Amino acid sequence: MTPLLEMRGVGFAYAGREVLRDVNFSLQEGSCTALIGSNGVGKTTLLRLATGSLSPASGEVLLDGLGLRRMARREIARSLALVPQRLEVPFRFTVQQIVEQGRTPYLGRLRGMLVDDRIAVERAMDLARVTSLRTRIFNELSGGERQRVKIALGLAQQPRILLLDEPTQNLDIGRQVELVDLLHLLKAQGITIFASIHDLHLVPGNFEKVLLLGPGQSIVEGTAEDVMTNECLEWAFDCPPGRYVGMRPA
Ligand code: ADP
């Protein structure tokens, strides 16, 4: 089966400083994958390469078998949405106004919001459980509420795959669990999930596959059980031997 998202031999450098080298992996439609790795290893960069907002220096990124290089931005945005770590909103936009921005890939110069667009926005707000916040000012929301609004914005694009950049960062444990439950709900709706996850305790049981970006641009791929061994995590996160075990939740 053609993977929904695939990287083949992808390499990337910022101003000559190599961050990713020969990255190969594929995600099947309907799968739920966690991307883990230490700070600065290249997770955000990898997600941005997957959206086409960065172009690989070598190799290629394929969306449903088509090279991103050959696709228009609007076409990509109708299949794939990225929920960024931060969303800078300079004005007093309401939640509904923010979520409506997700329809941009469907609107034309002569085509404003139609019934289908309104339905998609309502559905996105409903799925992400932000309907009751629709008239609230985005910049006045709590971290957990903002995270759900950003997800609603992504969902308004009606993507087949949702990429999330550290969606549980800075959330309390209750909001983290809510967020993970939301990812389960989206997966049940048939949306493929690919999320970088900082809070490792959330990975086992919630993500069926793990992609670990390790030192030296190496990648380890497998189930949480396969990948998240003490030895592998100590190596990947440069954690002194034996110390991680004690920090691990039972
Ligand atoms: P992660 O998401 O795993 O923390 P990033 O992908 O954000 O890692 O960053 C990978 C490396 O690339 C880091 O060393 C970071 O400092 C560097 N980097 C990220 N963005 C830029 C940029 N716009 N320009 C130059 N270097 C960058």
* CB distance 3 to 26 below 8 Å: yes
pLDDT for res 250: 47
pLDDT at 244: 66
Map tokens 């971290």 to a residue. Answer: 143
- Ligand 1 center from residue 130 Cα (angstroms): 31
Beta strands in the chain (DSSP E): 5-14, 17-27, 32-37, 58-63, 66-67, 80-83, 161-165, 192-196, 209-213, 219-222
Q: Which two tokens stand for residue 126?
A: 């409903």
| CATH superfamily of this structure's domain 1-79+159-250 | P-loop containing nucleotide triphosphate hydrolases (3.40.50.300)
Question: What are the residue boundaries of the structural domains of the chain, listed by start?
Answer: 1-79+159-250, 88-158
> What is the CA(216)–ligand 1 centre distance, in A?
14
Residues facing residue 111 across a β-bridge: 108
Nearest protein Cα to ligand 1, atom 11: 40
CA distances from 86 to 43, 67, 100, 173 (A): 15, 27, 18, 19
CA dihedral 42, 43, 44, 48 (to 10 degrees): 90
pTM: 0.94
pLDDT score of 90: 87
How many residues does this entry show for the chain?
250
Measured in angstroms, how far is the CA atom of residue 250 from the centroid of ligand 1?
33
| CA-nearest residue, atom 24 of ligand 1 | 14
Beta bridge partners of 23: 10
Q: Whose CA is nearest to atom 5 of ligand 1?
A: 42
Could you read off the pLDDT tens digit of each residue along the chain, which spans 250 residues?
899 999 999 999 999 999 999 999 999 999 999 999 999 999 999 999 999 999 999 999 999 999 999 999 999 999 999 999 999 998 999 999 999 999 999 987 777 888 999 999 999 999 999 999 999 999 999 999 999 999 999 999 999 999 999 999 989 999 999 999 999 999 999 999 999 999 999 999 999 999 999 988 889 999 999 999 988 998 998 888 777 665 555 4
Report CA(131)–ligand 1 centroid distance (Å): 34
Give dist(CA 11, CA 209) in Å, integer.
22
CB atoms within 10 A of CB 7: 24
Pocket test for ligand 1, best of 17, 41, 213 (most atoms within 8 A of CB): 41
Residue 231 Cα, ligand 1 centroid: separation in angstroms? 25
Q: Tell me how far apart the alpha carbons of residues 86 and 144 are, in angstroms, rounded to a whole number.
A: 12
Instruction: Give the mutation target among 19, 164, 196, 197 for probing the ligand 1 site: most ligand atoms within 8 A of CB.
Output: 19
Q: Which residues' Cβ are closer than 6 Å to ligand 1?
A: 14, 19, 37, 39-45
Nearest to 165 by CA among 53, 70, 29, 14: 53
Q: Give alpha helix (H) positions in 71-114.
A: 73-77, 95-100
| Cβ contact 124:155 at 8 Å | yes
d(CA 219, CA 213): 5
**Rounded-to-integer distance, Cα 103 and Cα 125, Å:** 13
Residue 127 Ramachandran class (φ > 0 left, ψ -120 to 50 alpha, else beta): alpha
